[in-house]
Structure 1
């Protein structure tokens, strides 16, 4: 195994007969996914996994080729509408082994500290990766087809006011260029995210939308939290330890890049007038 022994030990002790739901969370970066993840992790019966960007790769990230060949049938894959190539999963593989493999794949980059819960209590799995809406559909389909009625594969979409989301993204270390050359890429990302979400909905898989502002507001946080935990199949946590309210940003000013110009009020008006942004706002109920 090329992931840590504590992670492997945890995965091997899971009672897979109790796991009823696997929920994938996506959306545009800086849409409150990390805060929502922390809130979800407060539930004892949810296993929260690290981001799984390696799933876009042919060998599922750091998982070695031998293990991939053991579980994934070496068959011709297919190419989805986004141009991403996927492999067919073997229909003959043992269900329990398959689910353990999925968990282990997602957990392969996780730190052992994440796995400090009682494996016997876990009945729900949550994994968020901003942008996963563009490529998670085949994974959901595989889980649904392989597990049948034993497990529900779901998708949770996180959204945030587009102006504040763009402003925050533009200041992140992963952004490049000045505002005029950067914004068109952000618009394209919004359109891709919206279209991918609608494709997931059209395929009939369980989906839900969480607004960052609702989870951050003291007035609506508890109600939104209950809706969130209900959707992922978890029991709500009660008590003062629940991290609701305005989150502590993991990217404070000293970790952001210095930009000569951000999104001014005038530019925000122009941004909201863009057809792609306007469509996104109508879809997710902003500016109405």
Structure 2
């Protein structure tokens, strides 16, 4: 199939059981609505509230935008397939979904690393925090996250679009993902598979090393603080980010280890449940901080 524009893929999805499909569609509908609504509220609050004009909330706003795009790209098309029964997807649509799915997924890791650097500066260099993490630096960091994410995915993607497909057009997934697409290619995919693996490992390991190094310095600095209250407050500023980092990296590593069937289930959780957890994790932390502030004001 050299004429790519004429290709129509069939997404096999997760199950052919009608009852499970109904349950799955209802589950995805509610998780998608709550994910978009929750992350959109974070975006609007951080834009409108003058008290939230800090670097931490600037990064959080961009992270929420990423989550909205990511879950929309991956879940919205699957919900359409479940409700209409139409599992077909054109080559161009599949390529667009693949591009934005991988781009937002890769950018998320770099943005989490930038957020980690923000926490490092806030705790390890508090006197210089406002100078180092000014608006220009924050904007450059976010832009770099998107640019690096684009640089990471362009080489394998540009090589992949030049390859030829076999007679099979069945994609064993609910989204257009790189792994099932490579399985239905007629061309030799050894080089591109190695390139995809190298880029994925560099992204995962590179960002993880930066995160571990940052939190090593953060923990050392916190443990040197004189009072228990100061240490508790410092840990509190990092708790939400640490939880999100642990969930994101943990789910990614688990997905890499699983087989095809389990991989699809983990992918579904990564694209629907985990983006839903982000606003709740940060909202819970802010609620706890608000309660502490009210208690402090009432005593004084």
Q: Give the TM-score range, shorter chain.
A: under 0.3
Q: Which has the higher strand share?
A: 1
Return the index of the structure with the highest Cα Rg: 2
TM-score, length basis structure 2: 0.26
TM-score, length basis structure 1: 0.27
Q: Which has the higher helix share?
A: 2
